[in-house]
Amino acid sequence: MTDLPFLPFALPEIGEEEIAEVVDTLRSGWVTTGPKARRFEEAFVQFMGDASLQAVAVNSATAGLHLALEAVGVGSGDEVITTTHTFTATAEVARYLGADVKLVDIDPATLNIDVGQVEAAITPRTKAVLPVHYAGLAMDLPRLLALTRPRGIKVIEDAAHALPTTLGGRLVGTLDSDATVFSFYANKTITTGEGGMLVTRDAALAQRARVMRLHGINRDAFDRFTAKVPSWYYEIVAPGFKYNLTDIAAGLGLHQLGRAQAFQRKRERLAQLYDEAFADLPLLRPPRPADAADLHAWHLYVVRLTDEAPIARDALIEQLFAAGIGCSVHYIPLHLHPYWRERYGLSPAQFPHSQHVYERMVSLPLYTRMTDADAQRVIDAVRRALGR
CA dihedral 17, 20, 21, 22 (to 10 degrees): 120
Rounded distance, CA 119 to CA 136, Å? 23
Nearest to 274 by CA among 376, 357, 358, 370: 376
Coil, strand or helix at 132 = strand
* Beta-ladder partners of 68: none
DSSP 56: E
Nearest to 246 by CA among 193, 198, 188: 193
Coil, strand or helix at 314 = helix
* 57, 141 contact by CB (below 8 A): no
Stated as kind and residue range, the H or E segment containing 100 is strand 100-104
Out of 102, 127, 188, 228, which one is annotated catalytic? 188
Rounded distance, CA 60 to CA 379, Å? 33
* 270, 366 contact by CB (below 8 A): yes
* 65, 87 contact by CB (below 8 A): no
- 188 catalytic? Reply is yes
The values of phi and psi at residue 303, to 5°, are -105, 155
Stated as kind and residue range, the H or E segment containing 79 is strand 79-83
- Identify residue 120 by its one-letter amino acid code: A
CA dihedral 166, 334, 330, 295 (to 10 degrees): 0
CA distances from 160 to 37, 278, 379 (A): 19, 27, 27
Rounded distance, CA 290 to CA 295, Å? 10
* 323, 91 contact by CB (below 8 A): no
Residues 6+ apart with CB under 8 A from 250: 33, 36, 37, 39, 40, 57, 192, 195
* Beta-ladder partners of 255: none
- Residues with catalytic function: 188
